[in-house]
Amino acid sequence: MYNSGAALEKAKVRVGLVGTGYAAKFRSEALLHNEGMRSQLIAAVGHTAETTETFAKEYQIEALSSWQELVEREDIDLVVISTINRDHGAIARAALTNGKHVVVEYPLSLDVVEAEELIALAKAQQKLLHVEHLELLGGLHQALKKNLAKIGEVFYVRYSTINPQNPAPRKWTYNHELFGFPLIGALSRLHRLTDLFGKVFTVNCHQRYWETEPEYYQTCFCTSELSFNSGLLAQVVYGKGESIWQSERKFEVHGEKGGLIFDGDTGLFIQPGETTPIEVGPRRGLFAKDTSMVLDHLFDGTPLYVTPEESLYTLKVADAAQRAAQTGLTMFMKDTLDKS
């Protein structure tokens, strides 16, 4: 995709970070403590001057006042985007235009067309564009992949992540504009499925919000049904907030020879007359793993675990779900892909 010779000439990849929250903290630790110390964290910018100063002081780096300033810095090779979903596309475009490599937490953009343009821009600039999908590296997904063949042809999947929060926090993840449509903002819920089961045929979706003001909502509940080209049916349930009463994190995969049931961090392989526990690896250390793979790719050209095109395909499925929710109609992915 690009000539990494420039990075190889340097002892370290110099990094600028956009964001000071949960993901940014884990990313900073990974950048500061990776094997071989191949990266140097130069500067960061956050939502407010106060949070940026606190963050920069903690990691002994420079605090900047805007992401526009950060992407133009000549002493930065790689821009890591760990901020609100709404701004991912604009920052990635500016960083690539300024000749930087880019790592961005999913989604690449809230807009499919913009995401396509960013992938084309990265290729034109011969720069890395990596959309992080930590869910693919986690213990649950790895256990699913390892055991999938045991259950024969899969015909039904149900994936439910429900998070009661009372009171609901008044933060960006509960803001329509900043987070985006639920299955776009939480793209990993669909990306697990496309990674495991391939191309989608049709998409249905229903969703609603409970809100007392226009910008922020207190509860979100979304259900989507996907039919895959293979004939597999999948239901995805995503909910969070005040009007939800029971927490759930469950992934069920039903095949003709057995089932795989993951409830929280517990996994079971079910077959006639026998239920066997499945070991599920930890969710810790995934930012470090992702960061290490990015650095391996930049220095040695080793392949990454996910491509921007794969993330884009899932984004198109999520966009189809949004249009299905808005119109009440079934969306055919063939029609969606033909238009793009």
Burial of 113 from C-beta contacts in 10 A (0-12 / 13-18 / 19+)? exposed
What's the whole-number mean pLDDT along residues 70-80?
A: 95
Residue 166: phi and psi, rounded to 5, are: -135, 110
Q: Is the pLDDT of residue 330 over 80?
A: yes
* pLDDT greater than 90 at residue 71: yes
d(CA 250, CA 336): 29
Residue 214, pLDDT score: 87
The pLDDT of residue 339: 64
Partners of 17 in beta bridges = 44, 80
Could you give the domains of the chain?
Answer: 13-132 (3.40.50.720), 136-285+317-332 (3.30.360.10)
Q: Residue 338's pLDDT band (boundaries 50, 70, 90)?
A: low
Instruction: Write down the pLDDT at residue 340.
Output: 57
Q: Cα-flanking dihedrals φ and ψ of residue 316, to 5°?
A: -70, -35
- pLDDT-based confidence at residue 6 (cuts at 50, 70, 90): very low
* Structure confidence by residue, pLDDT tens digits, 238-293: 999 999 999 999 999 999 999 999 999 899 999 999 999 999 988 889 999 999 99
Residue 11 reports pLDDT greater than 80 = no
Per-residue confidence band for 175, with pLDDT thresholds at 50, 70 and 90: very high
